[in-house]
Structures are given as structure tokens and as C-alpha cells.
Amino acid sequence: MGSVKTTARAIDSPLPGLVLVAAGVAVSMVVTWLLPSVSALTAAVLLGAVVANVVRLPAAFSPGIKLAGRRLLRLGIVLLGLKLVFRDVLALGYEVLLLAVVAVVVTFVVTRWLGRILGVGEGLSLLIATGFSICGASAVAAMNGVREQDEQDVAKALGLVTLFGTVAMFALPALHPLTGLSPAAYGVWAGGSVHEVAQVVAAAGPVTGALAIAVAVKLTRVVLLAPMLAAVSVAERRRFPAAGKRPPIVPLFVVGFLIAAAIRATDLLPGVVLSTAQFVDNLLLAAGMFALGTAVNLRSLVRSGLPALTLGLLSTVLISVVALIGASLIM
């Protein structure tokens, strides 16, 4: 009996999975150091997918991977609020702020509509719409925290947002000479359309004078993550009126995100605290992304086929066109 209990405790221990996740995060950080245009989140998702598709992970890794993909990831989303500088966002002016809101809302709503037309599952289209309209992989994970989806749908959404965000990262600088946009206007376009923050940096970096405004516009989209999650949570409460199934109106980690953003706005935190918190945040988010990446089944992603790939492409083109038109009109 003693050996059975020991075995059960060993299987339930999160330690093996957390060790694997920690190793994955370390490798992801090295990749980002060697290739600054590749974010740690993107590297972690890809690495997790590679590990899961090359090696059959033992069941003993499951508890730790689940812990990283849920609790650690949500803590990382809370700390993400410390990266928001409301002063920089407000300094953009109401036209740019309005453009960011329009780009997010239009992309989210139209992507959901296109998902129904293309026959993409409701859960997958929700995750794609969120990730493509707001801030990539972290938005996908945050939405899954509000309305939990099938692990395969989460993995597919992460794969798609990584794929098309990377394409946009290289496509926008290549297309810039054809648009006639000023550096400031190009910054609005890049920040208003590219999925991940690190991808925005990579897309805006080659155009002198575009980077600062691109990051500020991107963070404006990140701010919209909280109200979008709250809106979906309210919708879920209406769908499931039974008390046992109703999620909170505003999930706790979303409240934490807003509190962290408010604390950052006070300018009371020393620089060393902010830099340390942001480093820890990158580690937590990378840990969560690696964990979610291990759920990526490449065969399943390929089998998701043309509808999901088409939805990802159309969503990327949509937000790029909306942001491009807006940048051309207001800058």
C-alpha cells in the first residue's frame, strides 16, 4: 500500500512538469537574446509545441504543466498591467485612441462573423478573434481563463496567432515604401495591426521615428483586453444562469491587471522594482506559453485545415487594412 501511495503522490507532484517548463523558459530566453525580433512568448510556444510533437511526455509532467498554463499564466497577465503607461497612451490624442478601439472592435466582431461563415468552431473563432484583435498569445490565454475552451482549440489559436503575427512582422516593413506613410503614421499602422508587442517592435524598428508611437498604440490595444474579457464574462453569465456555472462578472486576474496598471500610473514604483517585475512577468508568461504550446498537436493543426487558416489570414488582413486606412486619414 505504501508504494502505491508514494507512486500516486509522485504522479500528482507538479515538480517534474515545472522543471520541464523552467528549462523551456530558459531556452526561450536564450533564443530571444540571440534573436531579439523573436519574443520569449513566441519562442516558448514554438518550443513547447516542438517538445510535445517530438517526445511523448510522461503523465508525471502533466500537473506541473497545467499549473504553469493556468495559475502562473494568470499571474503573468496581472503583472502585464505594470507595462502600461497611461500617460503615453493618452498623449497619442483622441484620433489615434479611437482608431485603436475601432480596429479592435471591428476585427473582433468581423472575425467572429467570418468564423461562423467559414465553419470554424465557436470556441476557436472566439480565441482567434481575441488574439488577433488585442495582443496575440497572451490575449488568447486570458480569454481562455474567462471562457475555458478545449485544449486543442487553444493550441490551434496560439499556433495561428504566432504564424500570422510573424508574417505581419516581416510584411509591414516590406510594404511601407509602397504606402507613402510618414514614420509616425507607419508607427500607428504597425502598433494598430501587428499581434505581439515584441513583433510590433520588430516591425516598427526598421523605420526611424516609428518605434515609440507603435509601442504606445499597441499598448492602447492591450488596455482593451480587460473590458473585452469582462464583456465576454457577462455574456457567459447570461448563457449559464445556474449559479454553479456562472463565472464572475470580472475575473480576479482581470481585476489584478487593472490594479497593476493603476499602480503603474501613480509613478510611485522605483525603476528597479518595475524592471524586476517586468522580468518576472516575462518569465511567468513564457512559462504559461510553453505549457500551452505542449498542447499543440501539429497534425491536429494541419487537420484544422483551410477554414481556420483562412480565418487567421482574413483577420490579419482585416486589422491591417483598418489600421492602414486610419493611419492614412489621421496622420
- pLDDT at position 45 is 77
H helices present in the chain, as ranges: 2-12, 15-34, 40-54, 62-67, 73-80, 86-90, 94-118, 122-133, 137-146, 151-179, 183-193, 197-204, 211-223, 225-239, 252-265, 271-293, 298-330
Question: Is there a contact between 146 and 251 (Cβ–Cβ < 8 Å)?
Answer: yes
Three cell numbers, residue 256: 489584478
Number of domains in the chain: 1
Rounded CA-CA distance 160/121 in Å is 14
Collect all residues with Cβ–Cβ distance below 8 Å to 262 and sequence separation of at least 6: 81
Three cell numbers, residue 318: 482585416
Q: Is 180 left (phi over 0), alpha (psi -120 to 50) or beta?
A: left
Q: Domain of 117? A: 2-330
DSSP class per residue in 104-166: HHHHHHHHHHHHHHHT--HHHHHHHHHHHHTTTHHHHHHHHHHS---HHHHHHHHHHHHHHHH
- C-alpha distance from residue 315 to each of 45, 71, 199 (Å): 21, 29, 17
Rounded CA-CA distance 132/126 in Å is 10
Query: pTM for the full model?
Result: 0.69
Query: Over its length of 331 residues, how does the chain's per-residue pLDDT go in tens digits?
Result: 444 444 445 557 888 889 999 999 999 999 988 988 677 877 887 898 888 888 888 888 989 988 887 788 778 878 877 876 667 667 778 898 899 999 999 999 999 999 999 999 888 999 999 999 988 877 888 888 777 777 778 888 888 887 888 788 888 988 999 999 998 899 999 999 998 776 786 788 778 878 768 877 887 888 888 888 888 877 777 765 554 555 555 557 667 877 888 888 888 888 898 889 888 988 988 888 788 778 766 676 666 678 999 999 999 999 999 999 999 998 7
Rounded CA-CA distance 274/278 in Å is 6
Question: Is there a contact between 159 and 151 (Cβ–Cβ < 8 Å)?
Answer: no
- C-alpha distance from residue 108 to each of 133, 148, 273, 318 (Å): 6, 18, 35, 10
Q: Tally the C-alpha atoms within 13 A of residue 100's C-alpha that lie toward its C-beta.
A: 30
Collect all residues with Cβ–Cβ distance below 8 Å to 241 and sequence separation of at least 6: none
- pLDDT at position 4 is 44
Single out the residue of 224, 250, 237 nearest to residue 131, CA to CA: 224
- pLDDT at position 44 is 85
Collect all residues with Cβ–Cβ distance below 8 Å to 120 and sequence separation of at least 6: 128, 307, 308, 311
Chain centroid to CA 107? 15
